[in-house]
């Protein structure tokens, strides 16, 4: 059995970012750049109006004659004298012979043009070539995680594909004869299957591709075959069947499939019977079957591995400091991940903490982390916590 930090260290040592892949912008949100991105053009690529108004040569006095207009998408030149102006719209090209744009709210229309009521400074409301980005400038560095704004920024530079760390392919197996589909009449001795739904939903918050998900009965051959198929993925998650009961076949089936054990059991509560191993570069996590234990291990360990495979982070549970509300005794000689409600750094432990109970997660937004050598926490004590969002 290993400690929490030993388990995280072992996963860290055995996890690397996946290989890069050139992908279209429609598929890269959430991915991490595998190389620096340089601007292929100036942005803006031409002098651009920042306002709806009128373009003119600064220094003009009196009334200005309107000789044309420039709207977004136009590209034409005008013979503009010091006494002329052009109607212009936001985003439109500012022709070469003019240098300033006056807002339409600051003019008065005349019979053949405008009178400027409030004279702007020279160059006002004109976006210069390369004002935002210069051509060949590094605009995004390797390791940047792409979001919606970055996708839009790349598109605005005319970039259609970028080299990113590819998304991990995930397989999910849930075991158990007692599991019954929601929406059916519950049979005696059965429970509704929740882990598959829960873990599939949790994976949606990660930058992954779920390629396989199935429920397997507690049968040795079925478990072996399911794992054999699941190993086509980069990371395999198995929920249940990892303990030492007569119908727990996961550990044996993993060994038979050539998966090397890196650790088995963590000195923590909930989630002690966590198994982690590898086959070549493929990651395998066998999670406990109890729902709260399974979700705890997913949030602490599996997501850490996924994010490192994605190239987004080293493996770290990012402990934050908070203040305890109430008292709690650790009588288990284990590290504890207690579901708590965190408000402004103050932590209140939810009363129902059993490994089988998901109700605690529905009322919580963080784990209170209690090290195994801490026996008691009192009201007002400084404590460590880990925020989570489901």
44-70: pLDDT as tens digits? 999 999 999 999 999 988 899 999 999
Q: What is the mean pLDDT of residues 319-340?
A: 96
CATH number, domain containing residue 73: 2.170.190.11
60 preceded by cis ω (within 30°)?
Answer: no
Residue 331 confidence (pLDDT) above 90: yes
Answer yes or no: is 315 within a domain: no
Reading the block at residue 353, the tokens are 């903490």
In 272-334, at which residue ranges do the beta strands (DSSP E only) sit? 275-279, 282-287, 320-325, 328-329
Q: What is the DSSP letter of 195?
A: H
Residue 354 pLDDT level (bands cut at 50, 70, 90): confident
Residue 246 confidence (pLDDT) above 70: no
Residue 225 pLDDT level (bands cut at 50, 70, 90): very high
**Distance of alpha carbon 362 from alpha carbon 373, whole angstroms:** 28
How far from chain centre, in Å, is Cα 41?
29
Residue 1 confidence (pLDDT) above 80: yes
Residue 377 confidence (pLDDT) above 70: yes
Q: SS3 of 107, please?
A: strand
Q: What is the pLDDT of residue 185?
A: 87
Please give the model's pTM, rounded to 2 decimal places: 0.85
CATH number, domain containing residue 345: 2.40.340.10
Q: SS3 of 134, please?
A: coil
Residue 247 pLDDT level (bands cut at 50, 70, 90): low
| DSSP tally for the chain: helices H, then strands E | 8, 28
One domain, residues 273 and 174? yes
Q: Which of 318, 289, 18 is nearest to 170 (CA)?
A: 18
The domain total for the chain is: 4
The β-bridge partners of 269 are 336
Q: What is the pLDDT of residue 383?
A: 98
Reading the block at residue 35, the tokens are 């190389």
Q: What is the mean pLDDT of residues 126-140?
A: 96
Reading the block at residue 72, the tokens are 């977004």
Residues 298, 300, 302: CA angle, nearest 5 degrees: 45
Answer yes or no: is 178 within a domain: yes
Length of the chain (residues): 390
Reading the block at residue 251, the tokens are 């550990």
Q: State phi, psi for 152 to the nearest 5 degrees.
A: -65, -40
**Distance of alpha carbon 107 from alpha carbon 103, whole angstroms:** 7
One domain, residues 287 and 330? no
Contact 94, 102 (CB under 8 A): no
Q: Is 21 exposed, middle or buried (0-12, 13-18, 19+ CB in 10 A)?
A: middle
One domain, residues 218 and 94? no
Q: What is the pLDDT of residue 317?
A: 84
Answer yes or no: is 355 within a domain: yes
The percent of residues above 90 in pLDDT, for the chain, comes to: 86
CATH number, domain containing residue 179: 3.40.980.10
One domain, residues 172 and 205? yes
**Distance of alpha carbon 22 from alpha carbon 13, whole angstroms:** 27
Q: What is the pLDDT of residue 74?
A: 87
Q: What is the pLDDT of residue 65?
A: 96
Q: What is the mean pLDDT of residues 127-154?
A: 96
From 165, 184, 214, give the residue that closes a domain: 165
Q: What is the pLDDT of residue 245?
A: 66
Q: What is the pLDDT of residue 316?
A: 83
270 preceded by cis ω (within 30°)?
Answer: yes
Q: What is the mean pLDDT of residues 100-112?
A: 96
One domain, residues 220 and 301? yes
Helix (H) or strand (E) holding 8: helix 4-13
Answer yes or no: is 238 within a domain: yes
One domain, residues 181 and 70? no
Residue 285 confidence (pLDDT) above 90: yes
**Distance of alpha carbon 250 from alpha carbon 244, whole angstroms:** 10
The percent of residues above 70 in pLDDT, for the chain, comes to: 99
**Distance of alpha carbon 146 from alpha carbon 29, whole angstroms:** 5
Residue 335 confidence (pLDDT) above 90: yes
Residue 134 confidence (pLDDT) above 90: yes
Instruction: Among 57-66, 255-264, 311-320, name the one with the lowest average pLDDT.
Output: 311-320
One domain, residues 193 and 262? yes
Residue 157 confidence (pLDDT) above 70: yes
Reading the block at residue 368, the tokens are 């209170």
Arithmetic mean of pLDDT over the chain: 94
Residue with tokens 């158990």: 176
Q: What is the pLDDT of residue 361?
A: 94
**Distance of alpha carbon 261 from alpha carbon 321, whole angstroms:** 34
Contact 313, 307 (CB under 8 A): yes
From 145, 165, 185, give the residue that closes a domain: 165
The residue segments making up the domain with residue 360 are 320-387
Residue with tokens 């784990």: 367
Residue 191 pLDDT level (bands cut at 50, 70, 90): confident
One domain, residues 253 and 303? yes
Contact 42, 130 (CB under 8 A): yes
């Amino acid at each position: 059995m290993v400690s929490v930090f030993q388990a995280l260290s072992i996963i860290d040592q055995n996890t690397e970012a996946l290989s890069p892949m050139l992908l279209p912008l429609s598929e890269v949100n959430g991915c991490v750049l595998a190389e620096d991105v340089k601007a292929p053009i100036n942005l803006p690529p031409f002098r651009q109006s920042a306002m709806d108004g009128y373009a003119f040569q600064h220094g003009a006095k009196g009334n200005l004659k309107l000789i044309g207009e420039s709207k977004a998408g136009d590209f034409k030149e005008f013979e503009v004298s010091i006494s002329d102006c052009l109607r212009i719209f936001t985003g439109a090209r500012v022709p070469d012979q003019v240098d300033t744009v006056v807002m339409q709210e600051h003019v008065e229309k005349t019979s053949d043009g405008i009178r400027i009521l409030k004279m702007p400074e020279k160059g006002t409301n004109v976006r210069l070539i390369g004002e935002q980005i210069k051509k060949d400038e590094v605009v995004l560095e390797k390791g940047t995680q792409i979001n919606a704004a970055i996708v839009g920024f790349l598109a605005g530079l005319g970039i259609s594909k970028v080299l990113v760390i590819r998304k991990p392919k995930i397989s999910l197996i849930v075991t158990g004869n007692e599991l019954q589909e929601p929406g059916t009449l519950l049979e005696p001795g059965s429970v509704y299957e929740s882990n598959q739904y829960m873990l599939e939903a949790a994976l949606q918050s990660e930058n992954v591709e779920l390629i396989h998900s199935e429920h397997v009965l507690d049968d040795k051959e079925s478990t072996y075959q399911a794992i054999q198929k699941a190993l086509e993925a980069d990371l395999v998650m198995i929920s249940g069947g990892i303990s030492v009961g007569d119908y727990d076949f996961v550990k044996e089936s993993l060994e038979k499939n050539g998966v090397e054990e890196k650790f088995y059991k963590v000195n923590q509560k909930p989630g002690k019977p966590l198994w982690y191993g590898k086959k070549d570069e493929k990651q395998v996590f066998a999670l406990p079957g109890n729902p709260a234990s399974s979700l705890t291990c997913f949030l602490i360990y599996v997501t850490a591995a996924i994010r490192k495979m994605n190239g987004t982070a080293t493996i770290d549970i990012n402990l934050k400091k908070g203040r305890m509300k109430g008292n709690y005794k650790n009588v288990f000689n284990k590290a504890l991940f207690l579901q708590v409600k965190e408000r402004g750094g103050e932590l209140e432990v939810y009363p129902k903490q059993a490994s089988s109970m998901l109700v605690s997660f529905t009322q919580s937004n963080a784990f209170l982390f209690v090290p195994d050598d801490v026996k008691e926490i009192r009201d007002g004590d400084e404590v460590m916590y880990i925020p989570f969002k489901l």
